[in-house]
Chains A and B, each alone.
Chain A
Amino acid sequence: AQSVTQLGSHVSVSEGALVLLRCNYSSSVPPYLFWYVQYPNQGLQLLLKYTSAATLVKGINGFEAEFKKSETSFHLTKPSAHMSDAAEYFCAVGLGGGGNKLTFGTGTQLKVEL
């Protein structure tokens, strides 16, 4: 069975500062990894995904994540935070072999301050 741990339920950064949201996964087989963002009263929007190609994955809105197998991590980063980045971020893991079942982490609420 696979699982996801997101360290830090709340993260606060200043506008223009580096954003780092942590995600560690557990999987018995090579996983597919995803980051989603959720704005208030909305569904989830895919930021990026890792599917065993390049370990550094670039997504939308300037976000990127690096897959590190040795650390079982898939941390999300953005060099410079913008006020519009304030939202909840979810890391998710899925397995291949048919099907679209995702296991989500508990989420990290990102606050961006002036």
Chain B
Amino acid sequence: KAGVTQTPRYLIKTRGQQVTLSCSPISGHRSVSWYQQTPGQGLQFLFEYFSETQRNKGNFPGRFSGRQFSNSRSEMNVSTLELGDSALYLCASSSENRDLSTDTQYFGPGTRLTVL
């Protein structure tokens, strides 16, 4: 099976712009989670989608949003970009089971966002 794919791999934006990142999970996986990775804050959970519904949400401002489509592909959007949004954004997918006792999350390579 193909792994988790994320597009684009690299992105450069300027402050105030908005950006959309895409994640295609492993075939058959219905859960998609997003994480932000920065040198200062480390890995932080953004949100999780399961069968097109947001199941969990981290402590990020409303500028960060996401959605999941019927084919399980997910997008996250960041509006009004700030310099501090520069980060590696990682997407992870897992199987259709309900929770961590049986699920394994598989991570994509990430999208490196630079905000100038």
Contacts and interface: CB of A to CB of B under 8 A. Distances in A.
A97 B99 contact: yes
A100 B48 contact: yes
Contacts of B90: 43-44
Main secondary structure of the interface of B (DSSP, over half): strand
A102 B109 contact: no
Interface string A62-104: 0000000000000000000000000000101011111111111
A43 B4 contact: yes
Contact of A32 (B100, B108, B110): B100
B108 A43 contact: yes
Contacts of B109: 41-43
Given A41-B109, A44-B107, A99-B100, 20 more contacts: A32-B100, A36-B107, A43-B4, A43-B110, A44-B92, A51-B101, A92-B43, A94-B100, A95-B100, A96-B99, A98-B55, A100-B31, A100-B92, A100-B105, A101-B56, A102-B45, A104-B35, A104-B43, A106-B42, A107-B42
Interface of A: 32, 36, 41-46, 49, 51-52, 90, 92, 94-107
